[in-house]
Structure 1
Amino acid sequence: MIKNYLKIAWRNLIKNKVFTLANIIGLSSAFAVAILLVMTALFELSFDSFHENKASVYQLYLSNQTPRGTEIGTSNPVPLAPALMDEVSGIKRAVRRVSEDALVTFNNKELNLDAEYVDPSFFEIFTFPALLGNTESPLPDKNSVSLSEESAQKIFGSTDNVIGKTLSLKIGKEERPFTVASILQNSPANSSIDFDIVIPFENHPEYETDKDRWDSQFLPIFIQLDKGVSVAQFEENTVPFTELHYQGGIESDIRDGAVPDANGKYKQFHLMPISNMHFATYKSGVAIVNRTFPYMILGIAFVIIFIVSANFINMSIALSEKRLKEIGMRKTLGAVKKQLFIQFWMESLFVFGISLVLGLVASNMLLQPFKTLFNTKASFADVAQPNVIFLFGIAIFCITLVAGGYPALLMSKLSTLRALKGKLDLGKNRLRNSLIVLQFTIAIILISGTLVLHGQIEFMRNKDLGYNKEQVVSIPLNGKKDSYRVVELLRNELKGNPDILNVSGADNNLGKGRDGSLSSSMMGFDFEGRGVVTNTITVDYDYAKTLDLELVAGRMFDRNYAADSLSLVINESMAKQLGKEDPLAVSIPMDDSTAYSVVGVVKDYNFQEMSREIRPLTLFMNKDWDLYYAYVKIAPKNVAKSFEAIETAWEKVEPQAEFLGSFLDENVDRTFRREKTMTTIVTSGSILGILLSCIGLFAISMLVVAQRTKEIGVRKVVGASVSSVALLLTKDFLKLVGLAFIIATPIAWYFLNEWLQNYASHVALSPLFFVAAGLTACWIAFITVGSRTLKAASANPVRSLRDE
């Protein structure tokens, strides 16, 4: 029986080659893309899920009620973790970690590695297994380090016989020997914590000076709760602790006009589950877990499958009318509803089966280009999970059930006589029209999203950031030499080059450099009886000149002023926060014995990510604080030659250190890489969605034209023009696209407007975006349907009237 069903299914598919090919091409393409998208989304959603203790481990953060409103802080003081362990019940473990670069030397070979300074309990909280060496305690003492497999290969050439070897690390301004105690498995691709080397926290350059200071906050802390202790219990247990250790800060905030939260607290510790850490953002004083990106990818995959399934269902229903006589004969010979249903369902399964195999082959071929294009480390292992395969199987079962079952249900309700006459009243094709409207609604939403995303990226790319990003190269200072000495040596090396205009340095990068760093520093102090908070940057001479910052008052740091180590340059936002009519007359006491004078005010510029508002900023020039980046400004001509000159100079100044220079506009582009990836995915989804919708629309238009062949002949005989006949056949489809536009526009506007609120400055949400999306959809639909209807309208009416 099954063999007979398959044989009939094959004959029917061969008989309707155009529709079979359209379905297989559409389904195969959709399956291939959906598999890759689902793979990427599941990889993103799996971040930090490999930790065995993930159910009981949290990142600590503090909500602060300040005069400026609620602020969230994840940076904590050094003594906080041990104090929590001693004074707060319900905590099993507390671990500090700081991510920094570490310069490692072995046999005159220098490497900059991603380092984690951690407490020993780090390996008891997080699952980063040791493969070699001390597997029970990867960091047995203060002078030991752990290396990842990859970094061990870089340093020693292999992982064999490296346990016990000594290497040198630059800690602060001194080099110290460390012993390799263990080799760790490389951190998984879906880990928020990524490292090459792990170093005991006591070796951090700021540990000794800050181990008893509560006002120096620079590290995240992770907490593992005791079994049975809830997050709410922990937060309640920390209330007395917070009121004791943060008493001074609370009193200052109350003095300055801070308002308590709903629970009457001014400072409160909270916990963020580590499974949410990758998706956490802290905005407007609220911790937000935002999984928009992976869910959007899943949504696009679902949309693509839906569009192609709607095509399949529509074509199955439309083709069923051509098989009425076959159904009538089978019913005459005794076929029952169940047999008709199985026959139609078997044909659907047959097409889906072929398409799924082709889709798997295509997705495998596209895997590497896809991973490169979307910058993902996802793999087929992310989708080859039993629950994912089960859900995918259920989806195919349901789709084929509808595609095969609905036509079979229609046929089985017909009397044998009506079936043999070949007449089927499908009413007003409500299901077909509804599916077409839904398809184009989705397509218009995706096109609108594509246009707005492209608009926002161009807006960010072309926005005036307040500094010269096209002509300035930033270079991480990743060598052994003193940072100020390196900047001075670069100046001297490049002095005679007419294309090199200025050289300076700072302790932070603008944008995200090739070293992947993106950091900022903040400090607070009392000024005239109230608290002031500012971002800080340590800079070298010629900083403003190199970046083309606009000076609105006073001066920048100058070599002719010996006291500039006790001077400040602030931005306009900081001047506004100080509230003085003449900010140059301000003297700020940074501690009990030292006061700094404001000597200049620069115009506000984007020193942080573009999604943030420009905040108060204070520039220091204190040579006790290191620089981490050099900036070189070049002339607009001979850009490539100038870059080569900078690299050559670097190799002379720091011959052992890798050159990681990049233009600031490249750095800025890296800060919105996620937006670019999102735009690429939405654009690809839009194109594919439109193409799949057009395949279905083209096939449906062929059937409609075939059903109205005699009508076309009659109209032409009585004098109808080709254009009027073509318009008559096309306008019904264009009405559906117009209805889709009306439905899609408010939906797209709402979601895109919500997304744009994540940016302090963004493109205006113009109606033109949506009009352009609607017109694009209408134009594509008109071309798709019109090409077929025009051909039918141009046919000889005699041939049309002969058709039966």
Structure 2
Amino acid sequence: MFKNYVKIALRNLWKNRVFTVIGILGLSVAFGVATLLTTESLQELSYDKFHANGNALFKVYITWQTPEGTEVGTSQPTPFAEALSTEVPGADKITRFLEEEALTMYNDKELGLDAIYADSDFFEMFSFPIVQGTKNNALADVSSVVIAKNTAVKLFGEENPVGKTVTVLINGTNEPFIVSAVSENAPEQSSIEFDIVLPFQKNRNYEPTKELWNAQYHEVYVQLQEQVLPKTFEENSRSFTNLHYEGAVESLKRDGAQPNAHGNFMQLGLLPIKDVRFASYDEGYLEVSRSKVYIVLGVAFLILFIACVNFINMSIAKSAQRLREIGMRKTLGAQKNQLFFQFWGESLIVFLISITIGIVLSLLLKDGFETLFRTTVSFDILLSPKTIVFAVLFVLLISLLVGGYPAVLLSRLSTIRSLKGKLETSGKNRLRDALIVVQFGIAILLISGTFVLREQIDYMRNKDLGFNKEQVLSFPLNGKKNSYDAVKLLREELAGNPNILGVTASDNNLGRGKDGSQYSSVWGFDYKGKSVRTNTLIVDYDYIETLDLQLIEGRTFDKAREGDTRAVIINESMARALGEEDPLAAMLPGNDSLTSPIIGVLKDYIFQDISKAIEPLTLFLDREQGLTYAYVKVASSNMAKSFAAVETAYKSIEPNAEFLGSFLDENVDRTFRREKSMAALITSGSIIAILLSCIGLFAMSILITSQRTKEIGIRKVIGASVASVTYLITKDFLKLVFIAFVVATPIAWWFAKQWLENYTYRIELSWHLFAIAGLLGLVIAVLTISARTIKAATANPVESLRDE
């Protein structure tokens, strides 16, 4: 029986091979793309789930109430972790965590490594297995380090690294360390990545701040004891917060802040390790959002849905050609269940073939997908037993839904009506029309999203940021020399080059450079009876001139004035925060008994991500703090040659350091990499959606014109023109596309408006973006249908009527 089902199914599929190929083509593309998108999404959702203690691991954050509302931060002071572990019950293990780049040397090798400064509990808490050396308390000795397996190969080759001494440059000093252990490399799905792990006590900020509670610069992770709930731990920490932040709490009360629901002005919170990758702290509050992942899954579902709609429509449309076959089978004794399994079996064969082709297609597209979306895709995640079982159940379910409906429709037909060639159901066209509306609505929705995303990206790319981003390049000072000495030597090397217009440096980058780093430093203090918080930036001389920042009051830093090493320059937002009519008369408190005069006010410029509002900023000349990035302004002519000259100059100063130079406009582009990736995804999704919709529309036009062949012939005999016949056939489809536009546009508008709310600087939504999307969908539909309808309209009516 089964063999007979398969044989008949294959015969029917071959008999209708044009539609079989169209159906397989659409489903194969959909399955291939959906496989890639789903794999990417599953990888994202699996981040940080490999830790054995994952359910008990949390990042500590703190919220505080201000007159403007609640703010949140994850930076903690040096004594915080030790006090928390001893004073608040429930903590099993705890570690401080600080990420920096560390220049590491062994013999003649120098490598800039991604370093973590952590406490001895680090490897007990996180599942980074030790594969060589000390397995317990690998960081117990402050003179020891742990390196990752890939770092061991880079530094030591085939040598056993355990017991070897490496030198790490810390705050301008070469510090020797003994390699106590080698750990497994961090998995791809880890939010914590490292090349080397050093004892926390060795970071440059530790000694000056080990007893200060107002110097916050690192993160803290805690592992709770068994049976201890995060909520219970947070409640137990309230007295701890009130004790150690008493001064800060009094300042908040004085400034008019309102307490939270529990009556507190500051509160510790615990963020689960599985949520760390998806957490953001923009606009002063913590938000955990997996929306991007769900959008990717949504696009995969929509593409698959459109392909399935095509299959349903074609199956129903082709049903009229098989009515007499069904009637004959029923006359000969075929039961409904036999007919159902026959037709469903045909659908299942098509699905299995499509899935096979789709998997091969996903393998072929893998490299292009990774390049387009700047990601890595591993199909290993699809080979887990749970995923395989889910995939099999999904295929059976979707084949039952998609192939089962036409099978049920055909198997329920009465024998008499089947033999007459008439369908019993009068709602078949309504279902077909509804499905066409839905699939074109999805396509128009995705096209609209593409237009809005690209408009916003172009707006951000072309917005005046307040500094010269086209002619200034930046690069990390990642060599062995003292940063100030390196900048001085760089000025000297480039002094005779007429294309070099300025050289300076700071302790932070503008945008995101090739090294990928980006961070902020915030300073809080009391000023005339109120709390003030400002971003801080350590700069070298000529910073304002090199970046073409606009000074609206006062003057810039002057090398001839020794007192300028105590002075500061602020931006307009900082001036407003101080509330002084004449900010140049204000004096800011220092860490010692001395104060810092304000000598200049800068026009606000965007020094953080463009999605944020401009915050207060204070520039310092602090010769005791290191610089981390150099800036070089070049002439607008022959910029490539100037870039090469800067690279050569830096290589002569730091011959063993990697030059990671990039222009600031490139850096700014990297800050909205997420938006560009999303735009590429939505654009690709809209193209595939519209192509699949057109495949379905093309197949439907073939079927409908074949069903109306005699009608077209009669109309032509009585004088109908080609244009009128073409219009007659296409108008119903165009009505459906127009309805799809009417339905999809308000939905697209709402989603776009919600998404743009995340940006301080954003485009204004315009009706023309959505009108163009609808018009594009309409034009594509017309072009798809017209080829077949015009052919039918121009056919000789004698050919279509001669068998009557």
Name the TM tier (shorter chain): over 0.9
Looking at structure 1, the residues matched to 798 and 700 of structure 2 have their Cα atoms a distance apart, in angstroms, of 24
* Mapped pair 1:165 → 2:167: no
Aligned to 1:738: 738
User: 2 CA distance for matches of 1:128 and 1:618?
Assistant: 40
Task: Encode CA deviations 1:294-317: one digit per residue, 9 max, x unaligned.
Answer: 111111111111110111111111
Classify the secondary structure of the residue corresponding to 1:626: coil
TM-score, normalised via structure 2 length = 0.98
Q: 1:592 to 1:104 in 2, by over 3 A?
A: closer
Correspondence for 1:706: 706
AA paired with 1:215?
N
Q: Which residue is 1:235 aligned to?
A: 234
State the match for 2:521 in structure 1: 521
SS at match of 2:263: coil
Give me the whole-angstrom Cα distance separating, in 1, the residues matched to 2:592 and 2:139. Answer: 40
| Equivalent position of 1:202 in the other structure | 201
1:765 alignment counterpart: 765
Q: For residues 338 and 251 of structure 1, what CA distance do their matches in structure 2 show?
A: 78
Give the aligned residue type for 1:111.
L
Distance 2:45 2:407 in 1: 40
Partner of 2:310: 311
Corresponding residue for 1:221? 220
Deviations 1:259-313 (A, max 9, x none): 1112221001111101000000124443211101111111111111111011111
Name the residue aligned to 1:378.
377
Q: Take 1:621 and 1:637, find their aligned partners in 2: how far apart are those partners?
A: 32
Q: Is the 8 A contact 2:417 2:424 kept in 1?
A: no
Distance in 2 (CA, whole Å) between partners of 1:165 and 1:348 is 65
C-alpha separation in 2, matches of 1:525 and 1:15: 81
Alignment partners' CA distance in 2, 1:709 and 1:653: 81
Residues 282, 612 of structure 2: 8 Å contact kept:
no
Structure 1 pair 532–403 and aligned structure 2 pair: CA distance change class (3 A): closer
Point out the more displaced range, 324-333 or 41-50: 324-333
C-alpha contact (below 8 Å) 1:702/1:788 kept by paired residues: yes
Q: Secondary structure at the match of 2:160?
A: coil
Instruction: Look up the match of 1:505.
Output: 505
Number of the residue aligned with 1:474: 474
Letter in 1 for 2:335: V
1:637 aligns with 2:630: no
Amino acid in the other structure paired with 2:612: R
What amino acid maps onto 1:343 in structure 2? Q
Distance 2:113 2:468 in 1: 30
Report the AA paired with residue 482 of structure 1.
N
For the Cα contact (< 8 Å) 2:132–2:183, is it kept in 1? yes
Name 2:322's counterpart in structure 1: 323
Equivalences for 1:457-496 in 2 at 5 Å? 457-496=457-496
The answer to whether the Cα contact below 8 Å between 2:162 and 2:180 also exists between their aligned partners in 1 is yes
- Please tell me the residue identity of whatever aligns with 2:654: E
SS in 1 for 2:437: helix
Indicate the residue corresponding to 1:551 in structure 2.
551
The 8 Å contact of residues 709 and 803 in structure 1, kept in 2 or not, is answered as: no
Contact 2:366 2:377 in 1 (8 A): no
Question: CA offsets, 1:351-396, max 9 Å, x none?
Answer: 1111111111111122122112211123001222333333332232
Distance across 2 between alignment mates of 1:765 and 1:48: 38
Measured at CA, do residues 554 and 10 of structure 1 come closer, stay the same or move farther in structure 2, by a change above 3 Å?
same
Q: Using the TM superposition, give the Cα deviation of residue 426 of structure 1 relative to its aligned residue in structure 2, in angstroms.
A: 4.4
- SS across alignment from 1:469: coil
Deviation of residue 591 (structure 1)?
A: 3.7
Identity %: 55
Q: Give the structure-1-normalised TM-score.
A: 0.98
Deviations 1:105-134 (A, max 9, x none): 111321110000000101111111111111
**Alpha-carbon distance in 1 for matches of 2:590, 2:252:** 18
Q: 1:174 to 1:793 in 2, by over 3 A?
A: same
Distance, in Å, in 1 between the alignment partners of 2:395 and 2:767 is 38
> Contact 2:95/2:220 (CA < 8 Å) preserved in 1?
yes
- The one-letter code matched in structure 1 to 2:464 is D
Within 5 A, what are the aligned runs for 1:744-759? 744-759=744-759
Q: Which residue number in structure 1 is paired with residue 243 of structure 2?
A: 244
Aligned counterparts of 1:378 and 1:411: Cα–Cα separation in 2: 42
- Render the CA deviation track for 1:631-684: whole Å, top value 9, x for unaligned: 000001111100000011001111121111111111111111111111111111
Displacement of 1:401 in angstroms is: 1.8
**Equivalent position amino acid for 2:541 in 1:** Y
Residue identity opposite 2:19 in structure 1: F
Asked if 1:287 corresponds to 2:291, the answer is: no
Q: Deviation at 1:331? A: 1.3
Question: Counterpart of 2:491 in structure 1: which amino acid?
Answer: R
Distance apart, 1:459 and its partner CA: 0.9
Partners of 1:716 and 1:150 lie apart in 2 by 76
Q: Once the 2 structures are TM-superposed, how far is the Cα of residue 803 of structure 1 from its aligned partner?
A: 5.3
What one-letter code is carried by the residue in structure 2 that aligns with 1:595?
T
Q: Would you say the 8 A contact 2:443–2:686 is kept in 1? A: yes
Q: Partner of 1:789 in structure 2?
A: 789
Paired position in structure 2 for 1:3: 3
Number of matched pairs:
803
Query: Match of 1:220, SS?
Result: strand
Hey, what does 2:253 align to over in structure 1?
254
Which residue number corresponds to residue 22 of structure 1? 22
Q: What is the Cα-based RMSD across aligned positions, in Å?
A: 1.2
Q: Which amino acid aligns with 2:416?
A: L
Give the equivalent residue in structure 2 for 1:340: 339
Matches within 5 A, 1:350-749: 350-428=349-427, 429-749=429-749
Contact 1:63 1:285 in 2 (8 A): no
Return 428-437 or 43-52, whichever deviates more: 428-437
Maintained 8 Å contact 1:341/1:404: no
Q: Is the 8 A contact 1:70 1:284 kept in 2?
A: no
Counterpart residue identity of residue 368, structure 1: D
Match of 2:178 in 1: 179
Is the Cα contact below 8 Å between 1:104 and 1:113 reproduced in 2?
Answer: yes
Given that residues 313 and 402 in structure 1 are in contact (C-alpha distance below 8 angstroms), is that contact kept between their aligned partners in structure 2? no
CA contact under 8 A between 1:63 and 1:270: conserved in structure 2?
yes
In 2, Cα distance between the equivalents of 1:463 and 1:330? Answer: 70
- Matching residue's letter, 2:230: V
CA distance in 1, matches of 2:253, 2:402: 67
Residue type of the alignment partner of 2:487: V
Note the C-alpha offset of 1:414: 2.6
The more displaced of 283-292 and 243-252 is 283-292
Which AA in structure 2 matches 1:780? I
- The Cα of 1:764 is off from its aligned counterpart by 1.4
Aligned residue identity for 1:441: G
Q: Which moved more, 1:276-285 or 1:457-466?
A: 276-285
* 2:49 counterpart residue number: 49
8 Å contact kept, 1:170–1:480: yes
Give the letter for the 2:646 counterpart: I
1:30, 1:359 within 8 Å by CA — same for their partners in 2?
yes
Q: By how many angstroms is 1:402 displaced?
A: 3.2
Amino acid at match of 2:660: L
> For residues 599 and 293 of structure 2, what CA distance do their matches in structure 1 show?
48
- Contact 2:171-2:626 at 8 Å conserved across structures: no
Q: Deviations over 1:197-239 (max 9, x none)?
A: 0001011111111111000001111111111111221111111
State the AA in 2 paired with 1:244: L
Question: Is the CA contact (8 Å cut-off) linking 2:76 and 2:220 kept in structure 1?
Answer: yes
The residue type paired with residue 675 of structure 1 is E
- Report how far residue 720 of structure 1 moved: 1.6
SS state at 1:335 partner: coil
Give the Cα–Cα distance (whole angstroms) in 1 for the partners of residues 506 and 803 of structure 2. Answer: 82
Residues 592 and 178 from structure 1, CA distance in 2 versus in 1: closer, same or farther, beyond 3 angstroms?
closer
Give me the whole-angstrom Cα distance separating, in 2, the residues matched to 1:81 and 1:506: 30
Give the secondary structure class of the aligned counterpart of 1:70: strand
Q: Residue 286 of structure 2: SS of its match in structure 1?
A: strand
Could you list the runs of 4 or more consecutive aligned residues of structure 1 that deviate by over 4 angstroms after TM superposition? none
Aligned residue for 1:135, secondary structure, equals coil
Partner of 2:281, secondary structure, is strand
How many angstroms apart in 1 are the aligned matches of 2:365 and 2:803? 46
Deviation at 1:515, TM superposition (A): 1.0
Correspondence for 1:299: 298
Q: Shift of residue 334 of structure 1?
A: 1.1
User: Is the contact made by 1:31 and 1:356 (CA closer than 8 Å) also made in structure 2?
Assistant: yes
Determine the structure 1 residue equivalent to 2:94: 94
